[in-house]
Structure 1
Amino acid sequence: MRPRSTTLTSLAALLGAALLAGCTSDAPADGPAAPSASGSAATDGSGDSDFFDQAEYDRQLELAKETPEGPEDKPWEQMLRPEFIDTAEYAKKGGGDAHLCFSNAGVFNPWRQVGLKNMRAEVELHKEIGKFTVLDAQGKDDKQISDIQELTGKGCDALIVSPNTTATLTPAVERACEKVPVIVFDRGVETDCAVTFISPVGGYGYGAAAADFLVEKTEPGAKILALRISPGVDALETRWSAAKRAFDKAGVEVVDAKFTDGDPARTKSIVADALTRHGEIDGVWMDSGATAVAAVEAFEDAGQEVPPITGEDQQDFLTAWKEKKLTAVAPAYPTFQWRTPVIAALKILGGEEVPKEWTLPQPVITEADLDDYLEPGMPPLHYAMCGCEELPGFPEKWGGKE
């Protein structure tokens, strides 16, 4: 299995709104952003990524075009190019209900909050799960290392891990693999000891989809503003490196690439500054859509028309897109992926085959299907691709109304 969907290049993993906290170089993509420092990479995202891997880039762009295997109406069970492995050695012996454990990087943003609700609801569907233990690392590597150690001593039949960061959590995951079958998802580690690694197509696919849209909607020489959320995170770095290649190939100029720290106020300030210095911006590319609405509002505050913009499947952005008639696209890092580790764990404990690398589809919302993902009654920070509409407690447990 590739360490976090790459071959030899070290990567780290994913998306959503971030709060300013933590200070590791591989801060989680949808977790605490690395603190900014004047003149450092944390304030200027214009450089090319050291994370780039040509073979993985090619692979993801190919996967994004393929039709996955599996139930058409259950994307969280679908698979792209699965290579199955035997799991008979992990089959639960002695009968009795299963005890699943989950070491979570944290629930410090809406994307992760929606995801955890999905996972808990998936657990409710399976009566063979007698106990589900969750420990929250609160975006801290040292706490998650301790959490994983604690969980491996609690009699867990299988351990699900969403790592806070890549390199730092690798040794803890490797130690856990010696004691219990491990399922890693969302973010990766630099080891293939987990029974399966679960994630959507990946950052290259996301970044390229957003960049290709802007290239299509602008002319050569257009001025693009890139809003990035946090440095040193694989799925964000790969998103950016894929976008940079698309822009360079098309002759589109990235006039600024700035880190927002997931902060709406900072996002507005960056947009305002770009408009002051460049006079006009022809498109906005984002590696995470958490502050997309803030970017839209910044153009409106400046009395300018909102240019083509990329966002994500968050309800506030989808609503703004519809109501303001924006020219937009929304690649997704779907929260339905939080259901898959539970399904995988039960298959493993049942001795059933699973893919060594379980790659899920990664849809993109376009103008044509925008209405399909707008969900009346759901809160602004709800993620549309949750795959949760038929789960127990929907929509109330997700903050929605009937």
Structure 2
Amino acid sequence: MRRTHVKSVLAGAAVLAVLTACSTDDSGGGSDTAGNDTAEQETEGSSDEWFVQADYDEQMEQMSATFSGPEDQPWLQYIEGPTTDTSQWATQESQKVCFANASISNPWRQTGWITMNQQLEVLQESKVISEMETRDAGDDDNQQIADIDYFISEGNCDVFIISPNSTAALTPAVERACETGKPVIVFDRGVETDCAATFIHPIGGYAWGIATAEFLVDNLEEGDKVVALRILPGVDVLETRWAAAEKIFEENGIEAVDYFTEANPETIKSIITDEITKGDVAGVWMDAGDGAVAAIEAFEDQGVDYPVMTGEDEMSFLRKWEETGLNGLAPVYSNFQWRTPLLAVEMIAKGEPVPTEWVLPQVPITEEERAAFLEANDGMPDGHYAKFGGEDLPGYPEVWQERQIP
């Protein structure tokens, strides 16, 4: 099956600036469009290096797993498995948290960062946490490594929280944090070590790819064309989304062509327009929701039927989905996970066991559920994520509506 990619003209740090668990900053421009032949490159088997059958099988199984924990608090739910004994860290003293964050450079991370800070208020009021010193790496591996080493050298951290910018590069720094003897909490993206007290994340990229590709297959016919819009290469959670989807498309006779877009709306519109001129486009698959509205608008501009489409639980997609009545699905990379690391700090301070790998629920929003999520998030900006999980926190809803980013 032929697969076409738009080559990125960004390099080095500029590419790192759009690394994300879920989505990218819409303001990031600079991409060549699909109409520029010099920006296109045909590749074969590009996802093979990212596909691991055992991981695919595990995440498929986890999609139907029973989660333990409070039914109305998905950020505290988990799949039963090994736990970490935290009794050595039990204390009645308020804890200083040192947070090394990859960035808040996109709407998904900004939404989570707001939620995390509102959760912090609660835990500071209850004296579990005295303060959280945060260093933002601006999507730069070297900066985040320096940030972690700074925290270690200062020696004033009771707990480390790390949301890695990338997997391999940050592994040694995470290991150095573990060597201090203080508890380390990793969340969102992983590293290549199991030294952390807990690694917190939703099910993962394969689950996203499985849910979205199966939705498209169920609503399309063999031989239909799907345009896959991808942010950029080399990010594990994004690559595994595509690896899973590509496998399912190939197995079911769906013609899939994929492009890297850097979530640039102009690039997305150009790609979709070019593909429409080549023939019918029956479906659109995305590895993140940024740019979903631009993709839909391209169909409107050409005066053709809307595709079957997957976006994300970002409000802009949910609203456009409702407005158009297209056949859609909103996968999620559960934004409420930003609460969980701080609640893990509370558990550790009490000496309670924590899941060694804390797998959180990851459930897409269906058409039947869309209206309820739109109503629940009425007044939220387009860059907000419906499953942010902060409805019971102080400042709701104004802090999120006004995007009060600390």
Give the aligned residue type for 2:176: R
Matched, 1:56 2:55: yes
Aligned mates of 2:341, 2:254 — CA distance in 1: 40
Change (3 A) 1:294 1:26: closer
Aligned mates of 2:45, 2:279 — CA distance in 1: 19
Q: String of CA shifts for 1:320-363, please: whole Å, max 9, x gaps.
A: 11111110001100110000000112212221100100000001
Partner of 1:207: 209
Aligned mates of 1:115, 1:134 — CA distance in 2: 14
The answer as to whether partners of 1:111 and 1:335 remain within 8 angstroms in 2 is yes
Partner of 2:267: 266
Report the 3-state secondary structure (helix = DSSP H, G, I; strand = E; otherwise coil) of the residue aligned with 1:393. Answer: coil
Partner of 1:118: 115
Deviation at 1:272, TM superposition (A): 1.0
Report the 3-state secondary structure (helix = DSSP H, G, I; strand = E; otherwise coil) of the residue aligned with 1:114. Answer: helix
Change (3 A) 1:365 1:391: same
- Calculate the TM-score normalised by the size of structure 1: 0.89
Partner of 2:140: 140
Aligned mates of 1:362, 1:334 — CA distance in 2: 6
The answer as to whether partners of 1:22 and 1:35 remain within 8 angstroms in 2 is no
Report the 3-state secondary structure (helix = DSSP H, G, I; strand = E; otherwise coil) of the residue aligned with 1:225. Answer: strand
Unmatched tracts of structure 2, length 5 or more: 1-9
Q: How does 1:60-139 map to 2 (within 5 A)?
A: 60-92=59-91, 95-126=92-123, 127-128=126-127, 129-139=129-139
How many aligned positions are there? 380
Q: After alignment, is 146-155 or 235-244 more displaced?
A: 146-155
Q: After alignment, is 344-353 or 38-47 more displaced?
A: 38-47
Q: Which has the higher helix share?
A: 2
The answer as to whether partners of 2:67 and 2:78 remain within 8 angstroms in 1 is yes
Change (3 A) 1:220 1:187: same
Q: How does 1:165-204 map to 2 (within 5 A)?
A: 165-179=166-180, 180-204=182-206
Change (3 A) 1:118 1:26: closer
Give the aligned residue type for 2:131: K
Aligned mates of 2:368, 2:71 — CA distance in 1: 19
Partner of 1:6: none
Q: Quote the RMSD (CA, aligned, Å).
A: 2.5
Q: After alignment, is 370-379 or 79-88 more displaced?
A: 79-88
Aligned mates of 2:86, 2:29 — CA distance in 1: 38
Partner of 1:341: 341
The answer as to whether partners of 2:97 and 2:131 remain within 8 angstroms in 1 is yes
The answer as to whether partners of 1:377 and 1:400 remain within 8 angstroms in 2 is no
Report the 3-state secondary structure (helix = DSSP H, G, I; strand = E; otherwise coil) of the residue aligned with 2:300. Answer: helix
Report the 3-state secondary structure (helix = DSSP H, G, I; strand = E; otherwise coil) of the residue aligned with 1:280. Answer: coil
The answer as to whether partners of 2:211 and 2:331 remain within 8 angstroms in 1 is yes
Partner of 2:4: none
Deviation at 1:40, TM superposition (A): 8.7
Report the 3-state secondary structure (helix = DSSP H, G, I; strand = E; otherwise coil) of the residue aligned with 2:240. Answer: helix
Deviation at 1:45, TM superposition (A): 8.9
Q: After alignment, is 281-290 or 126-135 more displaced?
A: 126-135
Aligned mates of 1:40, 1:198 — CA distance in 2: 37
The answer as to whether partners of 1:331 and 1:363 remain within 8 angstroms in 2 is yes
Deviation at 1:280, TM superposition (A): 1.2
Q: How does 1:2-401 map to 2 (within 5 A)?
A: 21-23=13-15, 27-29=19-21, 30=23, 47-92=46-91, 95-126=92-123, 127-128=126-127, 129-152=129-152, 153-179=154-180, 180-254=182-256, 256-276=257-277, 278-374=278-374, 375-399=377-401
Deviation at 1:365, TM superposition (A): 0.5
Aligned mates of 1:166, 1:41 — CA distance in 2: 28
Deviation at 1:156, TM superposition (A): 1.2
Deviation at 1:82, TM superposition (A): 2.9
Aligned mates of 2:282, 2:11 — CA distance in 1: 28
Give the aligned residue type for 1:189: V
Aligned mates of 2:250, 2:95 — CA distance in 1: 52
Deviation at 1:400, TM superposition (A): 5.2
Unmatched tracts of structure 1, length 5 or more: 1-17
